[in-house]
Amino acid sequence: MLFRPTRYADTVGDRTILMSNWTDAIIGHRMAVDQEFNSQIQASQFSNAEWGLIMTATEFEIENAENPNTARIVANTDNVEAIIPELESIRSQTAAMSGRPTGSTSSSEGGLLGSLKSALGLANSDDEGVDAEKMEAAEQLTEAYAAALQSHLVETDSFEQARTAYLDAQD
């Protein structure tokens, strides 16, 4: 069975464009919220690259979409747990490119020796698993982003269009 995404049309200027995902309809709004939300990212424990990876793994949904009075955008972070270990890799790569120490605690030696031991599977095994603190911080930040996105959509009278597009995509 072939997957066929739901498609719907939206008018942009004098053109009608087809979209296959409800979030396509709000891409311009997301870009505006991204700019507004940047200060919260800067104040968080995540770099821009780390935040980008978190956002890639996050799916936005509209809870209670059937009811316009209670519908709200929520962040589905089910896939974020899988990328949390990669955040340290991003941080290490960024630090290595800038010549700074990584500050990594993933092995007792750290630095090049620690990276080599980790690559060979010789690093401490008690470091395995997802960093619960980072996961919680990612969940809180994505929920704050979802709230900011909904607020922006409401302020620009675009939430109803997004809610309708979400419902159409669910059919």
CA dihedral 162, 154, 64, 54 (to 10 degrees): 70
Give pTM, 2 decimals: 0.72
Q: Mapping DSSP to helix (H, G, I), strand (E, B) and coil, where does residue 16 land?
A: strand
Q: What pLDDT score does 92 carry?
A: 80
Give the Å distances, CA to CA, from 151 to 38, 73, 92, 109, 111.
16, 10, 35, 47, 44
Burial environment of residue 165 by CB neighbours within 10 A (0 to 12, 13 to 18, 19 or more):
buried
Per-residue pLDDT of the chain (171 residues; tens, 9 = 90+): 333 334 444 444 444 444 458 888 899 999 999 999 999 999 999 999 999 999 999 999 999 999 999 999 999 999 999 999 998 888 888 767 766 665 544 444 455 555 555 555 555 544 556 789 999 999 999 999 999 999 999 999 999 999 999 999 887
